[in-house]
């Protein structure tokens, strides 16, 4: 049974058991609130962060979340009274979600993306709370703060909040369409896309001047998702963006890494109208002028990279880099290939990647690892070739970047 169906049944069961005879207006209102909360919790991707992999109980916490400053372990958000949120009031839950304040008054770390969730309405947060209250209580004590001293002192978050946290519900823009406003709400609020896709300062705060233009995250690079034609989604249509969020691929790209997980757990379960609204909003975001000079075809890295590409890559991705529609990504037209940071490309070549699995498309092609076959110079050469063989160009990849990534991946389990 797909997890989305199981979650709906979990939400419905307490209501069905308690109902007798024809539905009353109060029962119908409770059902609608819980179902709304289930949908919003899915849009907010609560399952992924609050469920430990490899057999963890849903929403019982315990998943380690990597940040640039150390590890944060996700909290138990089941309605268990001792180790979860069962004893919290609705006000305390809202304070945590939209203000980053725990019931004891201490501050949450922004690994829980309250800087985005603050844009949600109180009614939507209350609905999520109503849904979570229908879950099975799980007794699972979690110590969330694993940060090293002095970062483990939560009081420091008061200063961080003053620098980077702007509290307040997102208000509709009267100059835009209802569809655009719905998309903005989903992207900037529950979807918390900025948490991964907006560049960060040295202190981990969003760079407000570069919204959604790409940022390193957990050993990957979350790409530019503005309407930039070189590194963003400027060449994608609204339908292309919608297909990507629904299935994990389109004629330009295939999702890997954290984005593949987000699609499997979250966006693939949203309605087509909401995905189209998100695409409409993202396509409206202005591009940033940035046109690096192309690398000459006779450059040694391009010559070596071209030979490696023809030998190792062209069977799947094609000599012209256009791949096979709905099967192998079109490297020649992929904005991720031209990201300013090649971390994701290097990682995929070294470790390989699996295609995202959704309810509609449970299987898909994978990318094998080439770490055993190609050394750092060779990986750098083939990626430099891929980033410059077809316009527009992107900066060269260096052997030093590959070596650093190879060393880093040896310490990572995922």
Closest C-alpha to 263, from 112, 66, 41, 48: 48
Alpha-carbon separation of residue 26 from 79, 136, 248 (angstroms): 22, 23, 39
Helix (H) or strand (E) holding 72: strand 70-73
Q: Is residue 114 within 8 Å of residue 99, measured between CB atoms?
A: yes
Place of tokens 């292309």: 240
As a whole number of angstroms, the distance between CA 195 and CA 164 comes to 13
Model's pTM, two decimal places?
A: 0.86
Structure tokens at 71: 């590890």
Can you give the pLDDT at residue 143?
86
Q: Is residue 180 within 8 Å of residue 173, measured between CB atoms?
A: yes
Q: Is residue 256 within 8 Å of residue 328, measured between CB atoms?
A: no
Can you give the pLDDT at residue 365?
64
Can you give the pLDDT at residue 291?
77
How is 246-268 classified by DSSP, letter by letter? HHSB-SS-B--HHHHHHHHHTGG
Cα–Cα–Cα angle for 388, 197, 93, rounded to 5 degrees: 165
Q: Is 124 left (phi over 0), alpha (psi -120 to 50) or beta?
A: alpha
Question: How many residues are present in the chain?
Answer: 414
CB atoms within 10 A of CB 8: 17
As a whole number of angstroms, the distance between CA 84 and CA 264 comes to 25
Q: Is 107 left (phi over 0), alpha (psi -120 to 50) or beta?
A: beta
As a whole number of angstroms, the distance between CA 285 and CA 228 comes to 8
Closest C-alpha to 221, from 256, 252, 248: 256
How is 203-252 classified by DSSP, letter by letter? TS-B-TTSTTS-EEETTEEEPP-SS-TTTSSTT--HHHHHHHHHHSB-SS
Give, for all 414 residues of the chain, the pLDDT tens digit: 444 444 444 444 443 334 334 444 567 779 899 999 999 999 999 999 999 988 889 999 999 888 888 889 999 999 999 999 999 999 999 999 999 999 999 999 999 999 999 999 999 999 999 999 999 999 999 988 878 777 778 888 999 999 999 999 999 999 999 999 999 999 999 999 999 999 999 999 999 999 999 999 988 999 999 999 889 999 999 999 999 999 998 888 888 889 999 999 999 999 999 999 999 999 999 987 677 888 999 999 999 999 999 999 999 999 999 988 777 888 988 888 989 899 999 999 999 877 665 555 555 567 889 999 999 999 999 999 999 999 889 999 999 999 999 998 887 766
- 64's CB contacts (< 8 A; 6+ apart) are 71, 72, 73, 74, 146
Can you give the pLDDT at residue 289?
67
* Beta partners for residue 64, in sequence order: 73
Closest C-alpha to 258, from 307, 223, 296: 223
């Amino acid at each position: 049974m797909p997890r989305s169906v199981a979650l709906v049944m979990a939400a419905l069961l307490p209501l069905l058991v308690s109902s007798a005879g024809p539905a009353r207006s109060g029962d119908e209102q409770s059902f609608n609130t819980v179902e709304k909360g289930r949908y919003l919790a899915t849009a907010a991707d609560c399952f992924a962060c609050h469920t430990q992999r490899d057999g963890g109980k849903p929403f019982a916490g315990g998943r380690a979340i990597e940040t640039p400053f150390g590890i944060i372990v996700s909290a138990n958000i089941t309605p268990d009274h001792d180790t979860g949120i069962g004893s919290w009031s609705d006000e305390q839950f809202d304070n945590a979600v939209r203000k980053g304040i725990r019931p004891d008054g201490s501050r949450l770390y922004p690994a829980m993306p309250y800087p985005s969730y603050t844009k949600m309405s109180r009614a939507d947060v209350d609905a999520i709370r109503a849904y979570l209250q229908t879950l099975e209580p799980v007794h699972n004590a979690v110590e969330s703060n694993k940060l090293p001293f002095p970062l483990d002192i939560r009081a420091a978050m008061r200063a961080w909040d003053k620098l980077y946290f702007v509290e307040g519900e997102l208000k509709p823009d009267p100059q835009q369409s209802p569809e655009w406003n719905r998309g903005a709400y989903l992207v900037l609020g529950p979807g918390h896309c900025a948490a991964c896709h907006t560049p960060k300062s040295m202190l981990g705060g969003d760079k407000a001047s570069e919204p959604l233009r790409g940022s390193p995250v957990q050993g990957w690079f979350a790409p530019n998702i503005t309407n930039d034609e070189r590194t963003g989604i400027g060449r994608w249509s609204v339908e292309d963006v919608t297909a990507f969020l629904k299935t994990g691929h389109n004629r330009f790209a295939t999702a890997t890494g954290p984005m593949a997980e987000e699609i499997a757990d979250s966006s693939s379960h949203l309605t087509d109208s909401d995905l189209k609204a998100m695409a409409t909003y993202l396509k409206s975001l202005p591009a940033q002028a940035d046109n690096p000079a192309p690398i000459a075809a006779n450059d040694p890295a391009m010559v070596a990279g071209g030979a490696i590409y023809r030998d190792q890559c062209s069977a799947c991705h094609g000599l012209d880099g256009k791949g096979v529609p709905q099967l192998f990504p079109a490297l020649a037209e992929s904005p991720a290939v031209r990201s300013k940071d090649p971390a994701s490309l290097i990682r995929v070549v070294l470790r390989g990647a699996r295609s995202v699995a959704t309810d509609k498309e449970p299987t898909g092609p994978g990318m094998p690892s080439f770490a055993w076959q190609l050394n750092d110079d060779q990986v750098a050469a083939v990626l430099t070739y891929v980033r410059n063989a077809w316009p527009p160009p992107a900066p060269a990849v260096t052997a030093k970047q590959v070596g650093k990534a190879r060393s880093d991946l040896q310490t990572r389990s995922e």
